[in-house]
Amino acid sequence: MTAAADTDQDWKADWQEVADAIGRDFLDGAISWGGDPVEPGAIRRYLEPLELDCALHTDPEVARSAGYRDVTMPATGVIAWTIPAAWRPGEVLFDSDDRDAQPVHSAINNADMPLGPRTTGFFGTDIELDFDREVVAGERIGRRGKRLVACTPKETGVGRGAFLTWESEIVVEPAAGAEPEVVGRIRIGTYAYVPHEKKEA
C-alpha cells in the first residue's frame, strides 16, 4: 500500500466513531418547535407562486367535508414550519459585518456535531418526508429527535468528509397535559466536509 493510500484510509478512519453512532438520537428526544403555528395566510402565500389550486388548502368548508378541522398545509411546505425562529427581539443574530459573516446560531448547520473530525463545509443533499396525516391550519409543529441513520465517508470535488443521513419525527404541539402527536417523519441528507485547499491561478 502506498503512502497516499495510507493517508486516504487515515482520514476515513477518523469518521469511524460517527459510523459507530448510527442509531443514536443526538437530541435525546428533545423537540424544537417551529417559530409560528401554521395559519391560513401563510398557506395562501405558499400557494401563490406555485398556483397550487387545491380546495383542501384554500376552502375551509371543503376541508371540513373531507374530515379536517380547517384547511391543510401542502406536504411540500410542512418542513418550513418545523424550523425554529432564527431571531427574537433582544437577540443578536449577526455579530460581524464581514462579507461572509455567518449567524451566531442556526437550526440548519452542523456546528453542534460532537463526534468525528471537525468540518468547516456543510450542505444539504436530499430530503424525504413521510406523513401519517395532514398538517392543519392552527397547529404548531416541530421536530423531535435527531437520529443518525447513515454515515458514508467520501472525498468529492469540494473536499473530504462524510454523507450523513438524519431522521426526526414531525410532531404537533399538544394541549396542556397531552403528549405530542407524531404526524410524520423527515430524513435529511447532508454532506459535512473539509474543503480542498484552493489552488492558485
pLDDT at 3: 47
pLDDT at 1: 47
Residue 73: which pLDDT band, with cuts at 50, 70 and 90?
very high
Cell of 76: 411540500
Are 144 and 34 spatial neighbours (Cβ–Cβ below 8 Å)?
no
By C-alpha distance, which of 75, 43, 84, 45 is closest to 60?
Answer: 43
Q: Answer yes or no: is pLDDT of 31 > 70.
A: yes
Q: Pairing mode, if any, of strands 135-136 and 141-155?
A: unpaired
Cell of 61: 368548508
Q: ∠ at Cα 122 (145, 18), nearest 5°?
A: 55
83-100: average pLDDT? 86
Tell me the torsion sign for CA atoms 97, 102, 103, 104.
Answer: negative
Q: Answer yes or no: is pLDDT of 107 > 70.
A: no
Nearest-Å Rg of the Cα atoms of the chain is 21
